[in-house]
């Protein structure tokens, strides 16, 4: 792409924003007025444009539909008290999007296409960034195969798009999770470290089985022995045991979570002892049984911090300490929220202002 991206703009005739109750918005149910799109054709990205959010045409033979040839990201924008729009760690989402694209045989996304497209879209739809406590604008960049070809091969044509939606809390209350010891989310050599559609669809069925038993989500374990804890639902997972912050080390079966990395950076900045390593199921169960498991939580963009209230394993359920008594996870959640809202110094240079 060129240094200054030429983005054509077609605005919606009548905004839908007056129909939205920003004090009562469900996650992923309401979308902003516009979307950003660019096409990869003949070996280059072109046709960068902003158009009204609407249904789109796609070939019935698209490999995105048949083989899951798609990658995506999730990040958020926040509105400060003085009306400035802050985006949290957009650079890390850009880096990870290209990591995922490489794994799925997709062309690398140029930085100007990502950043200028994102900025232009948020400038046009800035009123959609809510300023109600506990809300934000969820941003979904994604790339998918736009081939009109049903055969198995690296695709030739792609679309890059960004859509946005105002959201409230992802989880309304602390969650109950079940340690999964049969179904698998990812295996070594697979695509578990990427954000690609084919990682998420197969996880819905085992998650539903757990929900039918009264749990909210699963704790995924390794695909060989189910001996080691890897992730929780669609988030990274963290534990506080005997005052230490412990989380599974990254690898090709674990997503390099941006919220995860942010929590670890803040913990280290505070002088907390942090361990990134293999975490055995037996270790967590023993800590819970002995009362040494002080906190457990998921870390991800959608929820930021999702407190875990109960952990189920085999035929046992372990209740964790009350959320209001958890020192670290509550403190780090407040720190992240205050940074995103411009209430405290951005000492890590994580914020992009629009």
> Is pLDDT above 90 for 5?
no
Q: Residue 46: what pLDDT?
A: 96
User: CA nearest 189: which of 221, 223, 219?
Assistant: 223
d(CA 354, CA 351): 10
Q: Where are the domains of the chain?
A: 8-167, 175-340
| Fold (CATH) for 8-167 | D-amino Acid Aminotransferase; Chain A, domain 1 (3.30.470)
Mean residue pLDDT of the chain comes to 96
Q: Residue 170: what pLDDT?
A: 81
pLDDT digits (tens, 9 = 90+) for 283-300: 999 999 999 999 999 999
High-pLDDT (> 90) share of the chain, %: 95
> Cα separations (Å) of 173 from 176, 179, 239, 306, 348?
10, 19, 18, 8, 29
d(CA 212, CA 334): 33
d(CA 334, CA 79): 16
**In contact, 303 and 235? CB cutoff 8 Å:** yes
d(CA 139, CA 202): 24
Answer whether CATH 1.10.3720.10 is correct for domain 175-340: no
Strand partners, 140: 163
pLDDT digits (tens, 9 = 90+) for 7-46: 999 999 999 999 999 999 988 899 999 999 999 999 999 9
> Cα separations (Å) of 344 from 78, 302, 335, 339, 347?
14, 22, 8, 5, 9
- Residue 198 sits at φ, ψ, to 5 deg, of -70, -10
> Is pLDDT above 60 for 275?
yes
Q: Residue 172: what pLDDT?
A: 77
The H or E element containing residue 77 is strand 75-79
Strand partners, 50: 9, 36
Q: DSSP letter at 239? A: E
Q: Residue 4: what pLDDT?
A: 60
- Beta-carbon contacts of residue 13 (< 8 Å; ≥ 6 apart): 52
> Is pLDDT above 70 for 96?
yes
């Amino acid at each position: 792409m060129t240094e200054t991206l030429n983005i054509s703009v077609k605005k919606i005739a009548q905004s839908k924003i007056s129909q939205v109750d920003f004090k009562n918005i469900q996650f992923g149910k309401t979308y902003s007025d516009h979307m950003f799109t660019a096409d990869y054709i003949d070996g280059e990205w072109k046709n960068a444009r902003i158009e009204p959010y609407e249904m789109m045409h796609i070939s019935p033979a698209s490999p995105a539909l048949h083989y899951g040839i798609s990658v995506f990201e999730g990040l958020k924008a926040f509105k400060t008290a003085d009306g400035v729009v802050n985006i949290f760690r957009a650079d890390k989402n850009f880096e990870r999007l290209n990591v995922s694209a490489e794994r799925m045989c997709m062309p690398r996304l140029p930085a100007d296409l990502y950043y200028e497209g994102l900025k232009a879209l948020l400038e046009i739809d800035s009123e959609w960034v809510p300023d109600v406590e506990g809300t934000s604008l969820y941003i979904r960049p994604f790339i998918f195969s736009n081939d009109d070809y049903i055969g198995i091969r690296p695709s030739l044509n792609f679309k890059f798009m960004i859509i946005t939606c105002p959201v409230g809390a992802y989880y309304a209350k602390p969650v109950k999770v079940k340690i999964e010891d049969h179904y698998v989310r990812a295996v070594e050599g697979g695509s578990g470290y990427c954000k690609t559609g084919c990682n998420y669809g197969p996880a819905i069925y085992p998650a539903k089985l757990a929900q039918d038993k009264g749990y909210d989500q699963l704790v995924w374990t390794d695909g060989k022995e189910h001996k080691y804890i890897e992730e929780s639902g669609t988030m990274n997972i963290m534990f506080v045991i005997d005052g230490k912050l412990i989380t599974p080390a990254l690898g090709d079966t674990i997503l390099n979570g941006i919220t995860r990395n942010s929590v670890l950076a803040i913990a280290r900045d505070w002088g907390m002892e942090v361990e990134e390593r293999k975490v055995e199921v037996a270790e967590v169960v023993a800590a819970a049984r002995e009362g040494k498991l002080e906190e457990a939580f998921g870390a991800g963009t959608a929820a930021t911090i999702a407190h875990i209230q109960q952990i189920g394993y085999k035929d046992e359920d372990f209740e964790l300490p009350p959320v209001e008594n958890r020192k670290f996870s509550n403190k780090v959640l407040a720190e992240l929220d205050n940074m995103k809202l411009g209430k405290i110094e951005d000492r890590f240079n994580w914020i992009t202002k629009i």
